[in-house]
């Protein structure tokens, strides 16, 4: 593990290239059990990449970031209703830039193999969090997420051209170690599965931990190059604008995270940028896990602001009698150093 350094934030400026098609230029077709809503295709000189969960808050930002980098993007969603969610998240011209939108279940390995065909890499962001915030996250969802992750890596390995996967995990997969030992929590740390299971509410932490471990084991078996991104609580670009639907399951155990100085937030746009930069950095040897966050909630005032934004007073601050640990024990230096090297490399071109 690299030496721990001060937290850094490096942003590489990006430019959005917009193209548009008329409605008559779009098609809808069935291919071996899945549905594809086709947009632009046949653009020469552009690598085709695939994003699962393109109708999610983070997935949609990753798609937009890839389009801004001139990639040809295929989006995978789990059912046709998700296509309606996509149309609310993307402008019409952005929808028209997509190579296709494919309906494929994460539990159907053969369909995933078909969906990944021709893609250079897969960005697996798909999660079983209810995008409308109704059902939350359960132990069964943790199981489904783990099996879905296993199938994605298996499909990457079986598909001749796909040998890279950029997997979205979570800081929750690192911070719940079940003890009070003062250690630096970096990418070498893993959450304790038994501890998460025993607490009965840390199902998202359990699901992310199990799913990420499965991807690492399966990627070695299938010889798939893998990087995993572990973001904190997803936020809109300006704090404390949290994304409510993804915040609720993340903040189970939030009072303990706050007390221990482990409640970190991540600007969703910067997380999307990190996914793309890590994919490109794989050409230069990037591998392994990367914690991705911008700030750690350090005060009760910040916690109350976050509660107010979520319209859930007391979620974090209620019964908060212990002093918040303000020692910097949560590290994101590995990603910060990589982004710095990336910016230096780009500035030399």
30 and 92 Cβ atoms separated by less than 8 Å: no
Confidence band (pLDDT; 50, 70, 90) for 13? very low
183 inside domain: yes
Most confidently modeled of 18-32, 248-262, 269-283? 269-283
Please tell me the number of Cα atoms within 13 Å of 227 on its side-chain side. Answer: 25
Number of structural domains (the chain) is 1
Phi, psi (deg, nearest 5) at residue 275: -55, -45
307 inside domain: no
327 inside domain: no
Confidence band (pLDDT; 50, 70, 90) for 20? very low
Phi, psi (deg, nearest 5) at residue 157: -70, -35
Using CA atoms, how far residue 284 sits from 156, 279, 287, 308, 336, in Å, is 21, 10, 9, 43, 16
Lowest mean pLDDT among 148-152, 257-261, 333-337: 257-261
Mean pLDDT of all residues in 109-127: 93
Q: How far apart are CA 328 and CA 311, in angstroms?
A: 28
Round the average pLDDT of the chain to a whole number and report it. Answer: 82
Confidence band (pLDDT; 50, 70, 90) for 162? confident
299 inside domain: no
Give one word for 70, left, alpha or beta, with left for phi > 0 and alpha for psi -120 to 50.
Answer: left
Taking the model in full, what pTM does it have?
0.84
Structure tokens at 316: 């974090």
Lowest mean pLDDT among 26-40, 43-57, 216-230, 241-255: 26-40
Confidence band (pLDDT; 50, 70, 90) for 1? very low
- pLDDT tens per residue across span 90-112: 999 999 999 999 999 999 999 99
Lowest mean pLDDT among 24-28, 148-152, 198-202, 331-335: 24-28
- 125, pLDDT greater than 70: yes
Non-local CB neighbours of 217 within 8 Å, separated by 6+ positions: none
- pLDDT tens per residue across span 237-261: 766 666 677 788 899 999 999 988 8
Domain with 85 in it = 23-234+267-294+335-347
> Tell me, what's the pLDDT at 247?
84
* CATH number of the domain that residue 99 is part of: 3.40.50.720
Most confidently modeled of 13-27, 193-207, 225-239, 305-319? 193-207
205 and 170 Cβ atoms separated by less than 8 Å: yes
Catalytic residue among 64, 208, 210, 252: 208
- 147, pLDDT greater than 70: yes
> Tell me, what's the pLDDT at 317?
80
Residue 32 among the catalytic residues:
no
Mean pLDDT of all residues in 114-131: 84
The rounded percent of the chain whose pLDDT value lies above 90 is: 56
């Amino acid at each position: 593990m690299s030496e721990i350094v001060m937290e850094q934030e490096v942003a590489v400026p990006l430019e959005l290239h917009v193209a548009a098609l008329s409605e008559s230029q779009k098609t809808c077709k069935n291919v071996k059990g899945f549905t594809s809503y086709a947009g632009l295709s046949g653009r020469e000189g552009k690598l085709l990449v695939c994003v699962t969960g393109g109708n999610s808050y983070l997935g949609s930002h990753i798609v937009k970031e890839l389009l801004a980098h001139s990639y040809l993007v295929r989006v995978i969603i789990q059912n046709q209703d998700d296509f309606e969610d996509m149309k609310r998240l993307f402008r019409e011209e952005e929808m028209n830039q997509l190579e296709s939108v494919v309906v494929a279940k994460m539990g159907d390995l053969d369909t995933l193999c078909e969906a990944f065909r021709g893609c250079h890499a897969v960005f697996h962001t798909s999660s079983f969090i209810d995008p409308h915030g109704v059902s939350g996250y359960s132990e069964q969802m943790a199981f489904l997420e783990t099996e879905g992750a296993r199938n994605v890596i298996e499909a990457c390995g079986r598909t001749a051209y796909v040998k890279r996967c950029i997997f979205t995990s979570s800081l929750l997969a690192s911070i719940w170690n079940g003890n009070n030992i003062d250690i630096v929590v970096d990418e070498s740390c893993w959450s304790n599965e038994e501890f998460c299971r025993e607490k009965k509410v840390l199902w998202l932490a359990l699901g992310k931990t199990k799913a990420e471990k499965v991807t690492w084991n399966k990627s070695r078996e299938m010889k798939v190059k893998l990087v995993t991104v572990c973001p904190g609580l997803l936020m809109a670009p300006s704090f404390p604008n949290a994304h409510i639907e993804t915040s609720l399951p993340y903040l189970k155990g939030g009072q303990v995270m706050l007390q221990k100085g482990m409640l970190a937030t991540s600007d969703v746009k910067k997380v999307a940028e990190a996914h793309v930069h890590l994919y490109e950095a794989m050409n230069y040897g990037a591998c392994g896990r990367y914690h991705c966050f911008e700030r750690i909630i350090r005060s009760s005032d910040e916690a109350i602001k976050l509660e107010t934004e979520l319209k859930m007073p007391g979620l974090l601050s209620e019964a908060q009698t212990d002093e918040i640990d303000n020692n910097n024990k949560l590290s994101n230096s590995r990603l910060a150093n990589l982004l710095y090297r990336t910016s230096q490399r780009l500035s030399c071109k």
